[in-house]
A and B are shown apart, each in its own frame.
Chain A
């Protein structure tokens, strides 16, 4: 007789309103919810052979597997989000049984309530800014008198002196470009921050990950009031037009599950 493989519980998100599960996500395993203390945890059963700590580590090295599971994770949460506010969990949040899941909900009950209150009538939007550095250099050179001066000197200098002047010019250029990138990034962030309820700056992703020709110079997320979303999007659009000739490009995506705007504290102390 063969023992059935042990199942684990995969948690996608927590809601306060009964989630509509029909047609959500493209899952092999059925999606269901665990109701506890007025909260609904949206979960599915997953196999230990895929999600036990050891097996998960192996699978995380497999890009195809990650891609499929991450897509499912996102699709499930987006599906639930259509009808209720969600507290989205990180990829591969696994419980060994429903009791442990309920214990977690118990422990973080107040946090869940606070988060859900905070998220009411709001959406997460992301703004990433990319920079074509060469194009920005082309703009900067005409605005920096110091660089223009050195350039003239280079043309009338001996090759030895020109070498050092070129070095100096590159340095000034790098400085000026960094300064601009900081200024534009800050200007954009501040502008969008005013139009949002909360704002975050996230780490930049390298080109190998973004697969873009331009460098990412700002990675930001905003929690925006639903009735301010169109204003927010127009602001991004205006800036996009203004920045276009500077080699900067704004990329706005949303609405996202509020991944950037939920957290659980350490929770209440366990007694006993």
Chain B
């Protein structure tokens, strides 16, 4: 979990890297806590709001918002449409 996969120009080495793929914890957290299928209803326990907030980093959420403002309006074409 400490090495980020690098993009290589060489096709063969790319495949090698892919096999020993390692990524940072942040990359994993960004997906596992924020994405993935969420269900509700029949389950007894639903943790719908697992977020980076729970990592004791509550203050960070406001930084995210600040940055999004800094970046300006949402990008055109950011819609979730298949091409």
Q: Name A's B-contacting residues (CB within 8 A).
A: 8, 51-53, 56-57, 60-61, 63, 66-67, 70-71, 73-74, 87-96, 100, 103-104, 107-108, 126, 178-179, 181-182, 185-186, 189-190, 193-194, 196-211, 215-217, 219, 221, 230, 233-234, 236-237, 240, 250-257, 259-260, 262-264, 267
Contact = CB atoms under 8 A, between A and B. Distances in A.
A71 B47 contact: no
Contact of B43 (A63, A100, A196, A253): A100
Nearest to B6: A252
A60 B43 CA distance: 19
Contacts of A267: 41
Given A92-B47, A96-B44, A264-B39, 8 more contacts: A89-B37, A93-B37, A94-B47, A182-B72, A193-B77, A194-B83, A205-B26, A255-B21
A100 B44 contact: yes
Contacts of B34: 202-203
A195 to B, nearest CB: 9
A189 B75 CA distance: 9
Given A63-B56, A93-B39, A95-B44, A206 B67 contact: yes
Nearest to B56: A61
B2 to A, nearest CB: 12
Interface string B63-83: 110011011111111101111
A215 B68 CA distance: 11
A198 B34 CA distance: 18
A60 B28 CA distance: 15
B25 A70 contact: yes
Secondary structure at the B interface, as helix, strand, loop or mixed, is loop
A260 B7 contact: no
Contact of A90 (B28, B36, B56): B36
| Interface residues on chain B, size class | 35 or more
Given A204-B67, A210-B26, A96 B43 contact: yes
Contacts of B59: 208
A219 B37 contact: no
B60 A90 contact: no
B47 A252 contact: no
Contact of B9 (A52, A178, A221, A237): A237
A203 B35 contact: no
Contact of A88 (B25, B26, B36, B42): B36
Contact of B70 (A51, A95, A104, A178): A178
A57 B25 CA distance: 20
Contacts of A217: 71
Contacts of A66: 29, 54-55
A91 B54 contact: no
Given A61-B54, A74-B28, A182-B72, A56 B47 contact: yes
